[in-house]
Amino acid sequence: MGRHGTIANRKASQDSKRAQVFTKYARAITVAAKGGGDPEYNIALKHAIDKAKGINMPNDNIARAIKKGTGELAGESYEPGSFEGYGAGGVAVIVDVLTDNKNRTTAAIKHAFDKYGGNLGVPGCVSYMFERKGIILIEKTSKVDEDALMEAALEAGADDMIAHEDSFEVQTTPEAFSAVSEALKAAGYEFVEDDIEYVPSMESTPTDEHDIKNLKKMIEILEENDDVQKVYTNCAIDLYEE
């Protein structure tokens, strides 16, 4: 489960970067709010707010981010973008960003790839190894019945459900994601994470310990960058494991 890592490891990583995570989510809300400040009529904004509330982002922060997006408050203008390349050991990497200065972001990402044995490539150089899918992660607990969850997910339009070590992963098409997410929430399920992501269709398993160490460090540096929203890899091992 290298793409996500275990829930415990990812939560520990996220908790250690709480302020940075707030900054990233605020940017996502600001960009989504450009399409309208009412989440009832803006699905992208509703999803961004739900994610922010899921990490206990203060309501004042959320309201301020919305107002920046709608123009009620002055603020930077962020544009989405993505970078592709290979990390140490030949692992494919996609980096999603929201930036107000593409030159600054490009330089920082290239530096991280170069410093830790990677190679930043051109658009399309690794994305063919991934598919865009809606992903909903639900923690395995005694309250969650696997068969009932699978039935509810499939009835709502999900494509598949995968049982991991400590979670269930519901997969959907991007088009069905919102409907499945809302249906499972209405059924009382709580999500660890839900988003439309790059899911690898082929995985890479580096065996050299030095490559693995460099790959983990590169991803850590990238995720510490406020411009970076998310980093995806096709690595088959848990890169968040200590």
Task: Give the domain ranges of the chain.
Answer: 7-70, 79-124+202-233, 129-200
Q: Which residues pair with 84 in a beta bridge?
A: 94
Give the burial class of 41: count Cβ atoms within 10 A of its Cβ; 0-12 exposed, 13-18 middle, 19 or more buried. Answer: exposed
Query: How would residue 1 be classed by pLDDT, with cut points 50, 70 and 90?
Result: very low
Q: Each residue of 56-105: pLDDT tens digit?
A: 899 999 999 999 999 998 878 899 999 999 999 999 999 999 999 999 99
Domain 7-70 homologous superfamily, CATH: Integrase, N-terminal zinc-binding domain (1.10.10.200)
* Three-class SS state of 1: coil
Reading the block at residue 27, the tokens are 């940017």
Long-range CB contacts (< 8 A, 24+ apart) of 188-192?
189/138, 189/144, 189/149, 189/152, 190/138, 190/139, 191/54, 191/136, 191/137, 191/138, 192/7, 192/137, 192/138, 192/139, 192/167
d(CA 13, CA 4): 12
How are strands ordered across the β-sheet holding 228-233? 119-120, 79-86, 92-99, 228-233
d(CA 229, CA 23): 10
Lowest-confidence pick of 11-15, 90-94, 129-133 = 11-15
pTM score, whole prediction: 0.86
- Between β-strands 193-200 and 160-163, what pairing exists: parallel, antiparallel or unpaired? unpaired
Give pLDDT, residue 7.
64
Residue that wins the pLDDT comparison between 63 and 10: 63
Q: Each residue of 198-237: pLDDT tens digit?
A: 999 999 999 999 999 999 999 999 999 999 999 999 999 8
Reading the block at residue 75, the tokens are 């603020």
Query: How would residue 128 be classed by pLDDT, with cut points 50, 70 and 90?
Result: very high
Lowest-confidence pick of 20-24, 28-32, 168-172 = 20-24
Q: Each residue of 145-201: pLDDT tens digit?
A: 999 999 999 999 999 999 988 899 999 999 999 999 999 999 999 998 899 999 999
Domain 129-200 in this protein, CATH class:
alpha beta
> Which of 88, 142, 140, 97 is CA-nearest to residue 116?
88
Evaluate whether 7-70 and 79-124+202-233 have a shared fold.
no
CATH architecture of 79-124+202-233: 2-Layer Sandwich (3.30)
